[in-house]
C-alpha cells in the first residue's frame, strides 16, 4: 500500500500545522474563563474560515471535500497544540458528516453551510445519557409527534460544545414497541428551540477549554420536518457515525502523544545529569524509542482506517483498532514523557502536565477501550461465521 500523501493532503496538513503552532500553541494554557472563551471561539472561527470545520463535506455546502485521510492528519496537528480545540473540531466534522449522509436536501442547504462557515461556532452530537453510555440503545429520551410538532423529553449527558453550539443532532425513542435500538430516530434541534436548556459546564480533569454540558429537553417543541433520516432508523445512523468519530479521537490522541514526546525529547537532549545530557543514557533512549514506535504504529492504523473509510468500504473494525491502540499508546507516551522530564514534568509551567490530563479521556469517549475490544472481537467473529 502506498501511503504517500498527495500534494493537496500535504498542503492541508502543513496549513493545520502552521495554524496550530502560531495561533493555538501560544494560548493553549490560557483558554479557561471568560477571556479564554473569547479566544477559543475566535480560533474556531478561524478554523472554519480555513475549511477545517467541514473537511469531508461537499463544496456546494461550503465544505472542503478534503476526505477522511486529511481529517485525520489535520486533527493530529491541531491536537499537538490544543486538544480542546481538536475535540471541538472533530465533533463538528462528525455532526456535519452525519447530516450530509442522512439529512434531506432542504436540511443540508439550511444547516451545513452554517456548520462549515463558522456561523455556528460548533454542532453537537447528542447521544449519551446517564443510563445510556456504552449502551446507547438504552436511551430514555423520547420524541412524540403532536400534530405538526415533535415533543422531546429527556436529557443528554457529556455533550461537547453544548453551551455555544448552533444546533444539536439528537437521538430519541420514537417507538418503544420495537425494542431496544430499533425504535430510535434522529432529529435536528436548533439552539433556541423552546424547552431546550443547557446545564452548567462540567468541571473536568482535562480539555478544559472545550465545554461539556448536560442538555435537557422539557416538552421541547421542534417542527415535524426536524426528523433527520428515516423514522425509527436512527440508531444504526449513530453507530455508523461513531465509527468515523473514532478516527477523530484516535488522531487527537496521536497528536497529544506526539506533542508530549517531542517536548520530552528536546528536554532530555538539553538537560544534563552526571556530566552529560540525559539523552546519552541508554535506558532513556529505549524509553523514547518504544514510545515513538508505538505512536508510529498508531499513525499507520489511523491512516489505514481513514483510507478504508474513504474508499467506501466497511471500516468499523479498523476504526476501533486504530482508536483503541492510539488512545492507549498516547496515554502511555504522555506518562513516558513525564517520566523522562522527572519533577519538571509534574510542574504546570511545563506542558506535560496538560498533555497528561488532556490525553486521559481519549480511552473513554467515543467508546471506551473495553467497548472497542468488544467491537473488534465481534467483527473478527463475523468474518468466520
Nearest by Cα to 355 from 212, 245, 244, 254? 254
Neighbours of 220 (CB within 10 A): 25
Give the separation between CA 79 and CA 25, rounded to whole angstroms. Answer: 10
Beta bridge partners of 125: 169
DSSP string over 333-374: HHHHHHHHHGGGGGSTTSTHHHHHHHHHGGGTTTS-HHHHHH
What angle in degrees, to the nearest 10, is found between the helix axes of 282-310 and 316-341? 160
Nearest by Cα to 94 from 296, 319, 378, 326? 319
Give the separation between CA 326 and CA 312, rounded to whole angstroms. Answer: 23
Which cell is 366 given?
A: 467515543
Nearest by Cα to 228 from 291, 301, 150, 286? 150
Neighbours of 232 (CB within 10 A): 14
DSSP 8-state code for residue 184:
E
DSSP 8-state code for residue 240:
H
Kindly name the residue from 77, 163, 318, 366 that is annotated as catalytic. 366
Let me know if 119 is a catalytic residue. no
Neighbours of 231 (CB within 10 A): 14
Nearest by Cα to 43 from 78, 8, 85? 85
Catalytic residue positions?
A: 366
Amino acid at each position: 500500500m502506498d501511503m504517500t500523501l498527495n500534494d493537496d493532503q500535504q498542503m492541508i496538513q502543513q496549513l493545520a500545522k502552521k495554524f496550530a503552532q502560531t495561533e493555538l500553541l501560544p494560548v493553549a494554557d490560557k483558554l479557561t474563563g471568560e477571556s479564554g472563551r473569547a479566544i477559543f471561539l475566535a480560533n474556531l472561527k478561524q478554523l472554519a474560515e480555513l475549511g477545517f470545520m467541514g473537511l469531508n463535506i461537499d463544496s456546494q455546502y461550503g465544505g472542503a471535500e478534503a476526505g477522511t485521510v486529511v481529517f485525520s492528519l489535520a486533527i493530529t496537528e491541531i491536537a499537538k497544540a490544543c486538544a480542546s480545540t481538536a475535540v471541538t473540531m472533530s465533533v463538528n466534522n462528525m455532526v456535519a458528516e452525519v447530516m450530509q449522509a442522512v439529512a434531506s436536501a432542504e436540511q443540508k442547504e439550511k444547516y451545513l453551510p452554517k456548520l462549515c462557515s463558522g456561523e455556528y461556532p460548533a454542532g453537537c452530537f447528542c447521544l449519551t445519557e446517564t443510563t445510556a453510555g456504552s449502551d446507547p440503545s438504552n436511551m430514555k429520551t423520547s420524541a412524540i409527534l403532536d400534530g405538526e410538532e415533535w415533543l422531546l423529553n429527556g436529557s443528554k449527558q457529556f455533550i461537547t460544545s453544548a453551551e455555544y453550539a448552533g444546533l444539536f443532532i439528537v437521538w430519541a425513542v420514537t417507538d418503544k414497541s420495537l425494542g431496544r435500538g430499533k425504535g430510535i430516530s434522529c432529529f435536528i434541534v436548533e439552539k433556541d428551540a423552546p424547552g431546550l436548556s443547557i446545564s452548567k459546564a462540567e468541571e473536568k480533569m482535562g480539555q478544559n477549554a472545550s465545554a461539556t454540558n448536560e442538555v435537557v429537553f422539557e416538552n421541547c417543541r421542534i417542527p415535524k420536518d426536524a426528523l433527520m433520516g428515516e423514522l425509527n432508523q436512527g440508531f444504526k445512523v449513530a453507530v455508523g457515525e461513531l465509527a468515523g468519530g473514532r478516527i477523530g479521537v484516535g488522531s487527537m490522541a496521536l497528536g497529544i502523544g506526539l506533542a508530549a514526546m517531542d517536548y520530552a525529547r528536546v528536554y532530555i537532549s538539553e538537560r544534563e545529569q552526571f556530566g552529560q545530557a540525559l539523552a546519552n543514557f541508554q535506558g532513556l533512549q529505549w524509553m523514547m524509542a518504544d514510545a515513538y514506535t508505538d505512536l508510529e504504529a498508531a499513525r499507520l492504523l489511523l491512516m489505514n482506517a481513514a483510507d478504508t473509510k474513504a474508499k467506501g468500504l466497511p471500516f468499523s473494525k479498523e476504526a476501533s483498532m486504530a482508536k483503541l491502540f492510539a488512545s492507549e499508546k498516547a496515554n502511555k507516551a504522555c506518562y513516558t514523557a513525564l517520566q523522562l522530564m522527572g519533577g519538571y514534568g509534574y510542574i504546570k509551567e511545563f506542558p506535560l502536565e496538560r498533555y497528561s490530563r488532556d490525553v486521559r479521556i481519549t480511552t473513554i469517549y467515543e467508546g471506551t477501550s473495553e467497548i472497542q475490544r468488544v467491537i473488534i472481537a465481534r467483527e473478527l467473529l463475523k468474518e468466520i461465521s
